[in-house]
Chain A
């Protein structure tokens, strides 16, 4: 499973992208469960968030959903921060 996260906006307006390929990872199951729940709670279209809030695009195996601060689900928040931390 390929999980890509992109973050735009924010006070600084600086874009960040990261991705994780779970194939061959010992914790792949955990990633899959997290990614599926994060995507299920996402929106199909990008919406204008709050001023200076981060906007996120989460793409899992080619399917993209959108989310924005401060209204992220716990799973989305966890997934985003794990991908940003561990991903390349």
Chain B
């Protein structure tokens, strides 16, 4: 379905089919155009409904264009593990007393904002998907994750991690797993898994930069700043600017991320090191974005977004496949003679990813 900001006449469900048919044959394109689009959209929706009914997948979609407003719901697991938990804040409701709930709510809003305003994407699925998040999951839970349908945040144990809603880039990171699931659907293992993780770090960081109005030069390029408990020696969980330097602690160990292919880590753990080797594409993005300057979501972010959502990126893509598509996207969007193309090519070269 196309998005058109609600300005195009929508005949769905109101105009009888035979009238639509006559309008579609009209010589005046102002009349025939919208009617033809409506017929096309109706048939698409019918086919979709048929598929959904057959396979019992989803509720029938509504025929209207997705809204420019998010549809957020925050739930409280009350330290248990059943999802989604008790509903504590719906869209449009005023902030309550629980700062965690409020942070989750505004983080979801900031994520929705970047995708809509920078890339005209309506929510995670591009079609206005409701954004659900559960906070206070389990007791002292040191993690946050996307379960395929919603976000889940732990409070942290207070010794290593604090509340996972503290970092806006963590919220953006989790929701971007949803965007990836609905688009390139990169397999969560090995190099495609590291690319999946990197997409979440890239757009998680861009969501923070967008909400703070920071340029590439002003941004900290950290993931999870404000997440480490006071006694931990470190500034964040990952650094896109300098992978491998985010923490060095006697309990946590040292940040294991490589910045270049020379240091690529081969391991079976962590789904083949998805949180480790993501350092390489993360650093490539940082290099391209800082070389181009200005707001990172406008050029480098646009190129990365084009690749993630363009339909050519394979679920089993390796770094080199992704790199090749970013070069192609830079050329298509900004031209062959532009600084964008140069910056992207140079970034991959610097991290040792060869474009074949």
Give chain B's interface secondary structure class.
mixed
Q: Are A51 and B177 in contact (CB under 8 A)?
A: yes
Q: Are A52 and B81 in contact (CB under 8 A)?
A: no
Task: Considering the complex, give the chain B residue whose CB is closest to the CB of A53.
Answer: B145
Q: Are B224 and A11 in contact (CB under 8 A)?
A: yes
A residues 37-58 near B (Cβ < 8 Å) are 48-55
Q: Are B145 and A70 in contact (CB under 8 A)?
A: yes
Task: Considering the complex, give the chain A residue whose CB is closest to the CB of B228.
Answer: A12
Taking the complex as formed, is B271 at the interface, i.e. its CB lies under 8 A from any CB of chain A?
yes
Q: Are B145 and A50 in contact (CB under 8 A)?
A: yes
A48 CB contact (under 8 Å) in B139, B161, B188, B256? B188
Number of A-B contacts (CB under 8 A): 79
Task: Considering the complex, give the chain B residue whose CB is closest to the CB of A57.
Answer: B269
Q: Are B252 and A53 in contact (CB under 8 A)?
A: no
Query: Using Cβ atoms and an 8 Å threshold, which residues of chain B touch A11?
Result: 143-145, 164, 170, 173-174, 224, 237, 275
Query: Using Cβ atoms and an 8 Å threshold, which residues of chain A touch B148?
Result: 50
Given contacts A51-B177, A51-B196, A52-B177, contact A12 B237 (CB under 8 A): yes
Query: Using Cβ atoms and an 8 Å threshold, which residues of chain A touch B200?
Result: 51
Q: Are B147 and A70 in contact (CB under 8 A)?
A: yes
Query: Using Cβ atoms and an 8 Å threshold, which residues of chain A touch B224?
Result: 11-12
Size of the B side of the interface (Cβ < 8 Å), in residues, is 37
Q: Are A10 and B81 in contact (CB under 8 A)?
A: no
A49 to B181, CA, bound (A): 13
Q: Are B142 and A10 in contact (CB under 8 A)?
A: yes
Most buried by B among A12, A72, A77, A81: A12
Taking the complex as formed, is B274 at the interface, i.e. its CB lies under 8 A from any CB of chain A?
yes
Given contacts A11-B164, A11-B224, A14-B253, contact A51 B188 (CB under 8 A): yes
B residues 78-116 near A (Cβ < 8 Å) are 81, 83
Q: Are A52 and B276 in contact (CB under 8 A)?
A: no
A72 to B196, CA, bound (A): 24
Q: Are A15 and B143 in contact (CB under 8 A)?
A: no
Taking the complex as formed, is A59 at the interface, i.e. its CB lies under 8 A from any CB of chain B?
no
Query: Using Cβ atoms and an 8 Å threshold, which residues of chain B touch A15?
Result: 269-270
B residues 187-225 near A (Cβ < 8 Å) are 187-189, 193, 196-197, 200, 224
Top-3 shortest CB links A-B = A13-B275, A52-B145, A51-B177
What are 17 A-B pairs at a CB distance below 8 A? A9-B271, A10-B143, A11-B224, A11-B275, A13-B237, A13-B276, A48-B188, A48-B193, A48-B271, A51-B145, A51-B177, A52-B145, A53-B147, A69-B145, A70-B147, A70-B152, A72-B81
